[in-house]
Amino acid sequence: MPDAPLPLRAHNVLCLHGFRGEGYSEAFIEHMREVRDRLEDDPAREILLRAAPDTLCEACPHLADGGCTLGGRGHEAQVRAQDVEVLRRLGCEEGEIRSWGAVTRRIAAAVRGSDLQGLCGTCPWLSLGWCAEGIDALAARRAEQA
Ligand code: SF4
């Protein structure tokens, strides 16, 4: 039986391209690495796009009362708004199921590293530049393959 679609909140499809082995806890890092590696190995893997906590959040110490508390209580609403904006940029809808390969093609076509300043708000990882570099590298790889 095929695996059920992997739930990912929309902005996390961007985060996965900037992951360099750092994160909010050892368990979170381990899970993020496992998910990233699994998706890289299997671009056909189906993703369920969400604007709500996902498989990565489940391992995050900042998940509480069903939402993200990274920026304090009520932060979940801000993160959901970020997810909705990423969905809009990718031309996708909440609840859509797409392959990881299809999602990355959309990212490469619609998002540039310089867009993250506007998309990622107050994310503590933004200033490192890793995510912007990852997104731009993805676009460059796609351009080479075209
Ligand atoms: S800056 Fe933050 S929210 Fe934006 S892609 Fe990176 S980790 Fe994700």
Quick one: tokens of 110? 């619609």
Residue 122: pLDDT band (50, 70, 90) is: confident
Domain positions in the chain? 6-145
DSSP 8-state symbol, 129 = -
The 10s digit of each residue's pLDDT in 9-51 is 999 999 999 999 999 999 999 999 999 999 999 999 999 999 9
The DSSP secondary structure of 1-51, one letter per residue, reads -PPPPEEEETTHHHHTTT-SS--SSHHHHHHHHHHHHHHHH-TT-EEEEES
How far is the centre of ligand 1, averaged over its atoms, from the C-alpha of 20 (Å)?
12
How far is the centre of ligand 1, averaged over its atoms, from the C-alpha of 1 (Å)?
33
Evaluate if pTM is beyond 0.85: yes
Q: State the pLDDT at residue 130.
A: 98
Ligand 1 atom 7: residue of nearest CA? 15
The 10s digit of each residue's pLDDT in 56-114 is 999 999 999 999 999 998 899 999 999 999 999 999 999 999 999 999 999 999 999 99
Residue 37: C-alpha distances to residues 31, 100, 115, 126, 127 (Å): 10, 12, 25, 22, 24
Question: Using a 6 Å CB cutoff, which residues line ligand 1?
Answer: 11, 14-15, 18, 116, 120, 123, 125-126, 131
Q: Over 46-62, what HEC string results?
A: EEEEECCCCCCHHHCCC
